[in-house]
Amino acid sequence: MGERTGDVSSPARLAGPGEGIGADELALATRNHGLPLEALRHDVTPPGLHYVLTHYDIPYVPDAGAWRLTVDGRVRTPLDLSLADLLSFPQVTTRVTLECAGNGRALLTPRPVSQPWLVEAVGTADWTGVPLRLLLAEAGADPAAADVVFTGADHGVERGVEQDYQRALPLVVATGHDPEVLVATAMNGAPLPPQHGRPLRLIVPGWYGMAQVKWLRSVTVSDVPFTGFQQSVAYRIRRTADEPGEPVTRVAPRALLVPPGFPDFMSRTRVVRPGAVRLVGRAWSGQAPVSSVEVSTDGGAHWVPAHLEPVADGHRWAWRRWHHDWAAVPGAYAVGARATDAGGRSQPLDQCWNRGGFGNNAVCWVRVVCVADAHSP
């Protein structure tokens, strides 16, 4: 083995034609997890069902009372805050749908070798915390600064680079009111679970998961754009390895359905009985409100509008419920849904391929068979 830390990494690569999921991808799939899609029934996802992705280890924080958050860099007055200090600021609760930027990656051809998500890397929670803009105002952040850099306590190596997990937001986003970025201390009314950032994390409504820095230790105001690994190397939309690419930012529109009927254990094919089947699901976009959802039961040959239910209680950063009543007759079906947002963005039927496997919001199909027998032989 190597003599340098970075030698534990291998270069990014694409899977070969027909190459199955490898041991490295499986190790990630076994520790991270998606939302079991039947849990789309819950308006607010119970913590253990919400998707989780951690790049390195989940930090062990036995004493949250000892945690400190610093706010420094281009500020008038650096801050060094305890959890109790944070709770003395005004608290806001926002219902937010979070999605991993890599959701849909394992459906791509060729497949970028990384965390092999299908489509389940999503969840919705009520996040409570201090608006970041209040902390930046308290510290007196330089209004001419470029970026605000967030550092988590999670530490590891990635593509040869040893690092604490770090991401940045432009100052205008970090101090924005809409969306309002939170330094969150609670999820669904309880302290953050370890895997969701105990005791502190960032919540940036409408942005993909890489922006939602967990185990937040420091907020640093910078007068130059941040060029750390997770900003400039990872999380870029690239077709070739040598182009700089575009940054991954906000969540593209997507609709998913609660798989109807009941599953086969291994194939996950769904079985429904003939008759009325209510298809229920959720739709979201981080770019603009969802404006319509369509449903197809024939793999996209025909589409019908679903009934989009009202935005509940002003929860505009959360997924929106929809349903469609399907009159099922015996046969085999490919059932899917397609969201469109108020900006006119709609889910494609073909994959959105890029080398990192980010933002692939192509419509996903659920195999359903409708059979009349009450019991198998």
Site for a second copy in 12-31 (CB under 8 A): 19-22, 24-31
User: Do the Cβ atoms of 98 and 124 come closer than 8 Å?
Assistant: yes
Site for a second copy in 131-150 (CB under 8 A): none
Spatial distance between the Cα atoms of 40 and 318, rounded to a whole number of angstroms = 12
Q: Which residues contact 235 (CB under 8 A, 6 or more apart)?
A: 101, 208, 210, 247, 248, 356, 358
**Closest distance between a second copy and the C-beta of residue 324, in Å?**
18
Q: Which of 45, 295, 307, 64 is nearest to 198 (CA)?
A: 64
233 binds a second copy (CB under 8 A): no
Q: Which is nearer to a second copy, 106 or 135 (CB)?
A: 106
Least distance to a second copy, CB of residue 149, Å = 18
52 versus 130: smaller Cβ distance to a second copy: 52
DSSP, residue by residue, 221-256: EESS----HHHHTSSEE-SSTTS--EEP-BPPPEEE
Return all residues near 205 (Cβ < 8 A) that are at least 6 apart.
Answer: 94, 96, 179, 180, 181, 286, 317
Window 184-223: contact mask with a second copy (x via CB under 8 A): ---------xxxx---------------------------
Instruction: Kindly state whether residue 113 participates in binding a second copy, applying the rule CB under 8 A.
Output: yes
Structure tokens, 190 = 């309880």
Three-state DSSP at 269 gives coil
For residue 326, what are its two tokens?
Answer: 């399907």
- Interface with a second copy (CB under 8 A), residue from 17, 60, 224, 313: 60
Assess 48 for contact with a second copy (CB under 8 A).
yes
Torsion, CA 205, CA 208, CA 211, CA 213, rounded to 10? 90
Pairing type for strands 216-222 and 236-237 reads: unpaired
Q: Does 116 bind a second copy (CB under 8 A)?
A: yes
Q: Binding to a second copy (CB under 8 A): which residues in 258-277?
A: 259, 262-269, 271
Residue 229 or 353 with smaller CB distance to a second copy: 229
Beta-bridge mates of residue 330: none
We find the least distance from the C-beta atom of residue 29 to a second copy, in angstroms, to be 4
Site stretch for a second copy (CB under 8 A), options 45-53, 75-83, 130-138, 240-248:
45-53
Toward a second copy, which CB reaches closer, 79 or 235?
235
Ramachandran quadrant class, 42 (left: phi over 0; alpha: psi -120 to 50; beta: rest): beta
Where in 317-376 is the site for a second copy (CB under 8 A)? 330-332, 369, 371-373, 375-376
Pairing of strands 69-73, 216-222: parallel
46 is a site residue for a second copy (CB under 8 A): yes
176 near a second copy, rule: CB under 8 A: no
* Residue whose CB is less far from a second copy, 1 or 144: 1
Binding of residue 99 to a second copy (CB under 8 A) = no
Q: Is 32 in the site for a second copy (CB under 8 A)?
A: yes
Q: Does 33 bind a second copy (CB under 8 A)?
A: yes
109 binds a second copy (CB under 8 A): no
